[in-house]
Amino acid sequence: MKQRIGIMGGTFDPIHFGHLVTAQEVFERFALDSVIFMVAGKHPLKGDEVTDAHLRLQMVEIAIRDNPHFEVNDFEVQRDEVTYTIDTMRYLHQNYPPQTEFFFITGADALFDIIEWKDARELAGLTILVGATRPGYDIEKAKLRHECAGEHFDIRYLEVPALAVSSTDIRQRVRDGRDVRYLVTDGVAEFIKQHHLYQSIQGCCRYEREQKTPFEE
């Protein structure tokens, strides 16, 4: 039987209900067999300033543990270099039966990063792309723009339930001493507390630090 596998890539710093509900929506809409949460390792822009990869991996494990169709993968985390979508897709193709169909899920706004990336033509043969849209996104406009840039790709679109949640906002809430309940799973909220994540300005990404203290540095 031909398997249909979704891949939800992200930094997951931390994983939140926006990610989970999107993965579930794609799972149902495209009748997938499973969704792999692919945790990003080194980020080309964010550098070392994201939370330790093993803590991010653990949070994903905690968040998905009650869903038998979700799994986590540490391929990108194990690598010592920046991983591009093409690297991950080559790896997955090597590790799944040849007939497997992949659905790479990403925010519709991030699609350009993929279709304009290196080896785009090869990538187009390795995966279908699913552009998940956040609230207020103009899908028709996105389609037009993607059609020009990504002529080789099979791109599907999906509106996800209106969840304007972001990891950036969650980190900020923790720093402000606010509650993150109902934005992340209870297990993840507990983990954030236990490991004192996102509490100091020190540990957060430089961009946020600069936003927060524009005159001090």
User: Which residues of the chain form contacts with ligand ATP (CB under 6 A)?
Assistant: 10-13, 18-19, 22, 106-107, 110, 132, 134, 160, 163, 165-168
Minimum CB–partner distance for residue 15 and ligand ATP (Å): 7
Smaller CB separation from ligand ATP, 34 or 133? 133
What is the separation, in whole angstroms, between the first and last Cα of the chain?
Answer: 58
Place of tokens 């949070």: 59
Q: How far is the C-alpha of 212 from the C-alpha of 94, rounded, in Å?
A: 44
Smaller CB separation from ligand ATP, 64 or 165? 165
Best CA proximity match to 64, nearest among 21, 32, 101? 21
Minimum CB–partner distance for residue 123 and ligand ATP (Å): 16
Q: How far is the C-alpha of 74 from the C-alpha of 92, rounded, in Å?
A: 12
Q: How far is the C-alpha of 33 from the C-alpha of 46, rounded, in Å?
A: 32
Residues in the chain: 217
Minimum CB–partner distance for residue 62 and ligand ATP (Å): 16
Minimum CB–partner distance for residue 168 and ligand ATP (Å): 3
Smaller CB separation from ligand ATP, 12 or 103? 12
Minimum CB–partner distance for residue 2 and ligand ATP (Å): 25
Smaller CB separation from ligand ATP, 113 or 190? 113
CB–CB of 6/105 below 8 Å? yes
Q: How far is CA 118 from CA 84, 106, 122, 129, 134, in A?
A: 9, 17, 9, 16, 26
